[in-house]
Amino acid sequence: RRSRARTGRGRTTGARVPAGRVGALHLPATVRAAAPHQASRGRLSGPLRLRPDDVREAVREGREGNLVLFVVDASGSMGARQRIITVKDAVLALLTDAYQRRDKVAVIAFRGAEAQTLLPATSSVLAASTRLAELPTGGRTPLAEGLLAAADLLRVERLRDPSRRPLVLVVTDGRATAANRPLDRAAAAAAVLAATGAPCVVVDCETGPVRLNLARRLATQLGAPHHPLAALTHPDTRGSALPVAA
């Protein structure tokens, strides 16, 4: 869902005195501004006499575009191959939803010792799905690197398009196993990502009888909602939007 925003497109909601170059002319408001002055301008008949300060431009209201950034854990900590397939299915469903809403999407994956931008911000769900389908898996879990890469991408995209609202979806079981003190480094990276001000959602991929609840802890660090992966992959709800607030 999107917030309302004044844009160059959308429905007309009012009129205003232009601050500079006139955009779309609001004809009824222009006529109303000029009408009381016709006698003082010497008009007895004929066309309406207009002056530049009569001109009013239309105020239009559209919807903000979103940038949906997927940060996907592709490491060995995510468990069996079937679980990775489930993760891909869930992310692809969310990508499709983002495409239908005309959002831009970007994908960062982290595994081994680094994070990789699989897909820069784009509106092509085909490109996103192709890159995700080819996603290699296995190795250690550099969670900190994934979160820092997300913060860097958000900073760059904010410079390119300040009006586009970001949303970060972190798909992980919350484990961190790369480098020294990985959980402490992940916590510090989460603080960096949270400081960008971008709203985040943590999709928890942890399974099995023993739960460490590390993804839930990450959600707390990010100030983010926490959703289990099963909420996105149930057969009756696959392809539906993630239940998060606008």
Residue span(s) of the chain under CATH 3.40.50.410 come to 66-233
Supply 146's token pair. 């994934």
pLDDT band at 59 (very low <50, low <70, confident <90, very high): confident
Q: What is the 3-state secondary structure (H, E, C) of 14-81?
A: EEECCCCCCCCECHHHHHHHHHHHCCCCCCCCCCCCCCHHHCCEEEEEEECCEEEEEEEECCHHHCCH
Distance CA 2, CA 245 (A): 10
pLDDT in tens, 87-101: 677 677 767 777 777
3-state SS assignment for residue 117 = strand
Mean pLDDT of 6-11: 57
pLDDT > 90 in the chain, percent? 42
What's the rounded mean pLDDT across residues 123-152?
84
Task: For residue 245, count other CB atoms closer than 10 A to its CB.
Answer: 7
- Residue carrying the six token digits 């510090």: 188
Residue 243: other Cβ atoms inside 10 A: 11
Helix (H, G, I), strand (E, B) or coil at 157: helix
The average pLDDT across 24-40 equals 92
CA distance 213 to 215: 5
What's the average model confidence in pLDDT over 195-200?
96
Query: Looking at the DSSP assignment, which residues form a beta bridge with residue 110?
Result: 73, 115
Mean pLDDT of 105-110: 88
Cβ contact 51:40 at 8 Å: no
Structural fold of domain 66-233: Rossmann fold (3.40.50)
Which pLDDT band, with edges at 50, 70 and 90, does 51 fall under? Answer: very high
Identify whether the C-beta of residue 115 lies closer than 8 Å to the C-beta of residue 109: yes
pLDDT higher than threshold 50 for residue 240: no
- Whether 205 and 172 have beta carbons less than 8 Å apart is answered as yes
Q: Is the pLDDT assigned to residue 170 strictly greater than 50?
A: yes
Q: What 8-state DSSP symbol labels residue 163? A: T
Distance of alpha carbon 46 from alpha carbon 28, whole angstroms: 18
CB 88 within 8 A of CB 95: no
Looking at residue 206, what DSSP letter applies? -
Q: What is the pTM of this model?
A: 0.69
Q: Are 142 and 73 in contact (CB under 8 A)?
A: no
- Which tokens in the block code for residue 88? 């891909």
104-111/114-122 β-pairing:
antiparallel
**Stretch 64-93: mean pLDDT:** 73
> Position of tokens 């057969």?
235
* Mean pLDDT score of the chain: 82
pLDDT band, very low/low/confident/very high, at 241 (cuts 50, 70, 90) = very low
